[in-house]
Copies of this chain bind each other. A is one copy, B any other.
Amino acid sequence: MTGQIDRTRRPFVIDEAVAILARTPATLDALLRGLPDGWIVAHEGGETWSPFDVIGHLIHGERTDWVPRARIILEHGEARAFDTFDRFAQFAVSKGRTLASLLDELAALRQKNLRELATLRLTDADLDRRGRHPELGVVTLRQHLATWVAHDLDHVVQISRVLAQQYSDEVGPWRAYLRIISGTQG
Q: Which A residues fall within an 8 A CB radius of B?
A: 7-12, 15-16, 19-20, 23, 26-27, 29-32, 34-36, 38-39, 41-45, 50, 133, 136-137, 139-140, 142-144, 146-147, 149-151, 153-154, 156-158, 160-161, 163-174, 176-181, 183, 185-186
Contacts and interface: CB of A to CB of B under 8 A. Distances in A.
A23 B29 CA distance: 10
Given A140-B172, A153-B161, 19 more contacts: A7-B43, A7-B45, A9-B168, A9-B169, A19-B39, A27-B27, A29-B30, A31-B156, A136-B173, A136-B176, A142-B170, A143-B172, A143-B173, A146-B167, A149-B167, A150-B178, A150-B180, A154-B186, A158-B186
B185 A171 contact: no
9 contacts: A7-B50, A16-B36, A27-B31, A29-B30, A133-B173, A136-B177, A142-B170, A146-B170, A147-B167
A32 to B, nearest CB: 8
A162 to B, nearest CB: 9
User: Copy number of this protein in the oligomer?
Assistant: 2
B165 A154 contact: no
A20 B40 CA distance: 11
A169 B136 CA distance: 15
Contacts of A167: 10, 12, 146-147, 149-150
